Chain A
Amino acid sequence: MRIEVYHRSVEDDPRTLAAKKRLGSLVSCKRLVIADVFLVEGLESSEEEGLRRVFHDPITQRLFFGSACHHILPDWNLAFEISYKAGVTDTLALTVEKALRLAFPDQAEKLQVQTATLYVLESHPIEMDRQAVSRQFYNPLIQDVIFYEAGRNPSWRLAPNPPRVFQTPQPDIIPILDLTREQLVELSQRRLLALTADEMRVIQEYYSQPDIQAKRKSAGMDVNPTDVELEMLAQSWSEHCKHKIFQARIHYDDGSGMVREIDSLFKTYIQKVTAELEPDKPFLRSVFRDNSGVIALDDDTLVCFKVETHNSPSALDPYGGAMTGIVGVNRDILGTGLGAKPIWNTDVLCFAPPDTPASRVPTGLLPPSRILEGVHRGIVEGGNHSGIPTVAGAFLFDESYIGKPLVFCGTGGLLPATIDGRPAYQKKVNPGSYAVVCGGRVGKDGIHGATFSSLALDETSPTSAVQIGDPIIQKIMTDFLLEARDLGLYEALTDNGAGGLSSSLGEMAQDSGGLRIDLDACPLKYPGLAAWEIWVSESQERMSLSVPPQHWPALEELARRRGVEIARLGEFTDSGWIEIFHGGHRVGLLSMDFVHHGLPQMNLVAVWSPAKQDRVPLEVEDLWGLLLAILAEPNVASKEELVRQYDHEVQGRSYTKPQSGLHQDGPSDGAVLRLHPGSPLGITVTHGICPRVGDADTRAMAACAVDEAYRAHIALGGDPDHAAILDNFCWPDPVQGPKTPDGPHKLAQLVRACEGLKEAALAYRLPIISGKDSMKNDAWAEGRKISVRPTLLISLVGRAEVSKDLPDTDFLKAGDWIVLLGRTRRHLAGSMVERVLGKKLEGIPYPDFQIARDLYHRVHRGIREGLFCSVHDLSDGGLAIALAESCLGGRLGAEIDLRGLCPSSGLSPAEVLFSETPSRFLVSVRSEDRPRLEELFGKEDYAFLGVTTVQPLISIHAEGVPILKCSLDEILAAWKSWEGRWS
């Protein structure tokens, strides 16, 4: 049965208006209507009243049984219907089935539902590129389109996807013992294992060992690997799971002729920082061990934080990829310790500029505006539907992200310090406990995600790696698990992300020392999955648990009451082996030690050759034009329209919001959450990311990113001594090979970035508590490789006291002093002015850590004393942009003289205005507080620039000469010029 639902008033349907806008100039569309189409099969009675209760809002909608577009739009000439391909999760269809079961409780056994969206156009001229039109609304990777033309009676061909039934394949034995090196490589490629020849060789050697062969024979198994085993090794050893590049031994030539060996970047530059700082940082609880890093806020409260990337899936299906990124990192938090409650999301999204002309988008890649639209919608729905506020983040635009967008998804969570007397950040899997999985069912979706993300993106990228998350199923599971946690019904849990059960149960088994699993017990979406598919599928919304046998009945009962599916797959053992059964057969027998420690360390070469710095001085004729050009640059321009679509307040902790100021449209430096009303405890969340600086030197890029995150924390009122950071590296492939001849240089850039990270983290005493790397951010299109700029995101979580009002970035009232804190130098490399002018400019920014540390402590003291009316950190665009932002936030003008700055620094006024020296703030203070400010900051580190004014005008003098006048209206117009144009 076909049901079509239309909005009651076609002219007034917001969806139609948005669709028309998206069609833009593609077609001159006279009228357009959109209908939701439902095909329902398997209902024994089709009582109209019941169906109306499910599908029809009598106030806002019109419902038709059968097709009705001729009725709604008699003169239509083109219609097309978009539906998900078989096997792609259709969350709407799942809800419809649920609703039909409620409305028809006794007769919904064989129910089958297919949903589609129908677009009906009446357009002139009638001839149009119907593919181009439909492509505005669908993604051929995951959706199908059917076209209909008016004139004849079209037959409405949409049919339910056939039920997914597969023949259960027998587990394959894969003979590898006699394969040559070339054949091993061929096998790895054919099965999408993403393993190198050396790694395949190690696997071959494992299976050649006499004791392993004897063990297998005595267990009744072939000496060659099964597909289950090979897939498990590929998942466990993927770059995604094992971070092989960060663990590699690197032969590093630093360019000066000095050569040294680095035994793991991770150990040398990241782990070591935290180890060195640990004695001084009593708030550290769990670092690098668990699914996220855990710190204490006070004696009773722990906070955890994790940032992931979901770049490759977002390139293929921006909406599903970003959505899955969000709900995936939410599960990392849920899987931390005994289970933390996600309380914030934060997302940093990097795209090519959305106004990139179509002619500049290589064939086979989605246009940046489409990627932005889809990723943003995925982030919006992923966060909002889960009830997790999206409190911070950023949008970055750079041409190098046209091949792959970077989608950093972060989530923070809250854990009580103890649960039932046990430290909540620890977990222990005991032998004899049940291995349990709960949440969604397993299907063919999301197979090979982990290995796929370890490869470059090209035309053959598997669409099965694309999934669409269902935040509601996950929310229901989250509620259930937090209840079970507080009842003490499980002893450990972890999430099912990359690598599926193979990863989650495999990792948990390290704790007990072994695992025995029967895959027949695993709930499936449809019959017929191969054992290896069940084992590595990344189907969403699942968590793995370790459950002491005595608690199993109570856990099962709670799951039933909460409508959550739960299954016992086997048990954790201390046998030293992973044993997998399926269909009554043993299909896997692997040594724990080999799975987890058998991967050989990679050997890589890095050679640093400093970039040629043919940089020129900054010369500006038109300061006014430059200021407005930077304000209108998409990296700087207001993102309010995008940010307002995030629910940043749910859960009631929002304190410093993404937008601040009189009209709530000024930018904030980050987020502060208040633990609960009345609590003195606040949590700061900030980021630092400076990829453009990396063109000059990735070491400076990393140091500046740490400084940016830390100074934002300080600006928000954060405690300088109570903060921790996370690193996320997104790099182009740095492993030398036929397609990557410049691997040694890219790896050297990585080494230098690690050096900068380490230096800055130690200088600011910021322990690194978690991190992630994504090392294959290249795409192939039109026969050429497109690589992202090496990008390092630093994310920070810290503590702030919120018992007294903390400042925002906007000027509060006229007559206040405007003060620049920190020293300005000629730092224009990687700056916004460089980007806008399209010239390489002089001066590579680098923080002066010692001066900055001292300044940060003083700023913090000032904030504690309530000295500042506003505090804004200087970042993109430097002083000029910070000044414009503080003015527009407060709807105040400013009367400025740069007299105090130019002579002492030797900089020109333009350099003072646009240099991006790190470690600086723009603050305002009441006029009577000037003496206190002078006392607090001593002689050197501040300059009184002028005063705020009622007159909405920024007027800047240098040495008494007016150099720039700009009205607030001009500033607002430029800054908001992207509104309505993002996608």
Chain B
Amino acid sequence: MNTVRTAILYGQGINADVELGWAFEMAGAQTDRLHVLDLLAQPSQLKNYHILAFPGGFSFGDHLGSGRVMALELEGLTDLLLRFLETGLILGICNGFQVLVKMGLLPMTGEMPRIEASLDINSHGRFVDRWVPVHSETGSPCIWTRGLKTMDLPVRHGEGRFVADSSVLDKLERQGQIALRYEGGHNPNGSLADIAGVCDPSGRVFGLMPHPEAFLEKSQHPLRRRIGDDVTGLQFFQNAVQFLRTS
């Protein structure tokens, strides 16, 4: 396909939608902001898009646990989203990741969505904004992290500690679903196995706590005077656009 069209959800307390739009546009996609309530009122419009993105934010104030109420609100769309994934891609960042996990769309180690993991309150109990180094797992089916170099990304969350039962964790390891990890010693929230992001077994759905959309150019990095400008978070978005263009 020539034009990759991305729908970026907004509304209901989502707040990192505009810069996520910049990211997809810099990667060569066409983007629309799509209000959550408009999507619910007219779900069929999803077929105009190739990528659906769940940005960061504080949907419903994280009350009852981050992402929970938005997941309830979107529950009715689960089947539609599964069909969308036959050709499309889904990304969830931070609160968007939390929503996907609470809808059971991630990590989805089996065939059908069910809640298998959670993003718990950070082990230190506080919200934290800090740049931390992450690396992708070679051998992961994740489309978004292909060929990704180690880079620093900002985390900005109070509930980002990935937890799951050991059976689920084993499966994630086996199926290469742990697409992104914090570098050893830099885990900012106590996540099990240093998990920063996971994909579904197809690699089409990807959720992560760090914010690649906040690192689109060198000048956004706190060490801008000390680093080169060849590695940025833009690569995540370029990977997705490239994949859709060639598929």
Interface hub of B12, B164, B225 (most chain A Cβ within 10 A): B225
Check A647/B216 contact, CB under 8 A, given A476-B11, A677-B26. Answer: no
**Cα distance A913–B179 in the bound complex, in angstroms:** 52
Is the CB–CB distance between A561 and B61 below 8 Å? no
CA distance A13 to B38 in the complex (A): 38
B120 CB within 8 Å of chain A? yes
B121 to chain A, nearest CB (A): 5
Are A60 and B219 touching (Cβ within 8 A)? no
Residue A525 is within 8 A (CB to CB) of chain B in the complex: no
Contact B41 A91 (CB under 8 A): no
Verify if A102 is at the interface (C-beta below 8 Å from B). yes
- B165 to nearest A CB, angstroms? 8
Tell which of B116, B126, B130 has the most Cβ of chain A within 10 Å: B126
**Is B41 a contact partner of A96 (Cβ separation < 8 A)?**
no
Q: How far is the CB of A99 from chain B (nearest CB, A)?
A: 5
Contact of A651 among B18, B131, B224, B225 (CB under 8 A): B18
A57 near B118 with CB under 8 A, answer yes
Quick one: which of B113-130 are within 8 Å of A by CB? Answer: 115-118, 120-130
Name which of A163-171, A256-264, A657-665 contacts chain B. Answer: A657-665
| Known contacts A14-B122, A655-B219, A655-B220; A95 and B16 CB within 8 A of each other | no
Name the one of A99, A648, A662 contacting B64, with C-beta atoms under 8 angstroms.
A99
Say yes or no: A54-B61 contact (C-beta < 8 A), given A476-B12, A805-B225. Answer: no
Q: Is B37 within 8 A of A475, CB to CB?
A: no
- A648 close to B226 (CB less than 8 A): no
Instruction: Looking at the assembled complex, report how far the CB atom of A647 sits from the nearest CB atom of chain B, in whole angstroms.
Output: 5
Binds B, one of A325-333, A379-387, A771-779: A379-387
A678 CB within 8 Å of chain B: yes
Q: Judging by beta carbons under 8 Å apart, are A651 and B58 in contact?
A: no
The residue of chain A having its C-beta at the shortest distance from the C-beta of B188 within the complex is A644
Residues A103 and B72 in contact in the complex (CB < 8 Å), given A14-B123, A476-B12, A677-B26: yes
Given A96-B63, A660-B222, are A647 and B12 neighbors across the interface (CB < 8 Å)? no
Residue-wise interface mask of A (654-697) relative to B, using a CB-CB cutoff of 8 A (1 in contact, 0 not): 11010110101000000000101110000000000000000000
Q: Cβ of A295 < 8 Å from any Cβ of B?
A: no
B223 interfacial contact with A, CB 8 Å: yes
Interfacial chain A residues near B224, Cβ < 8 Å: 805
Best-surrounded residue of B10, B123, B156 (most CB of chain A within 10 A): B156
B16 touches A91 (CB 8 A): no
Chain A positions 210 through 222: 1 when the CB is less than 8 Å from some CB of chain B, otherwise 0: 0000000000000
Task: Find chain A residues with CB under 8 A from B22 CB.
Answer: 652, 676-677
Please tell me if the beta carbons of A15 and B60 are within 8 angstroms of each other in the complex: no
Interface residue range, chain B: 35 or more
Task: For the complex, give the distance between the alpha carbons of A479 and B118 in Å.
Answer: 29
**Closest B residue, CB atoms, query A654:** B220
**A102–B11 touching, CB < 8 Å:** no
Chain B residues, CB < 8 A from A470: 61
Q: A96-B64, A648-B129 are in contact. Are A59 and B58 (CB under 8 A)?
A: no
Main secondary structure of the interface of B (DSSP, over half): mixed
A358 neighbours in B (Cβ, 8 Å):
none
Q: Measured between alpha carbons, how far is A620 from B61 in the docked complex, in Å?
A: 53
Q: Decide if A562 touches B16 in the complex (CB within 8 Å).
A: no
A486 CA / B122 CA spacing, docked (Å): 39
B35 at the interface (CB under 8 A from A): yes
Say yes or no for A737: interface residue by CB 8 A criterion.
Answer: no
Mask for A1-25, Cβ within 8 A of B = 1, else 0? 0000000000011110110000000
Please indicate the chain B residues that have their CB under 8 angstroms from the CB of A196 in the complex. Answer: none
Q: List 25 A-B contacts (CB under 8 A).
A: A15-B121, A57-B65, A59-B115, A59-B165, A60-B118, A60-B120, A91-B61, A91-B63, A95-B61, A96-B64, A98-B60, A98-B69, A386-B15, A387-B58, A475-B15, A476-B13, A561-B37, A561-B38, A650-B15, A650-B16, A651-B16, A651-B18, A652-B213, A659-B222, A802-B219
State the A residues within 8 Å of B (CB).
12-15, 17-18, 53-55, 57-61, 91-92, 95-96, 98-99, 102-103, 380, 384-387, 470-472, 475-476, 479, 561-563, 644-652, 654-655, 657, 659-660, 662, 664, 674, 676-678, 802, 805, 807-808, 812, 869
Those 8 A-B pairs whose CB atoms lie nearest each other, nearest first:
A387-B15, A652-B19, A14-B125, A95-B63, A59-B118, A385-B58, A472-B61, A102-B72
Q: 13 additional contacts, CB 8 Å, given A61-B65, A99-B69, A102-B75?
A: A14-B122, A14-B125, A57-B102, A57-B118, A91-B61, A92-B64, A95-B60, A95-B61, A471-B61, A472-B59, A649-B154, A655-B220, A660-B222
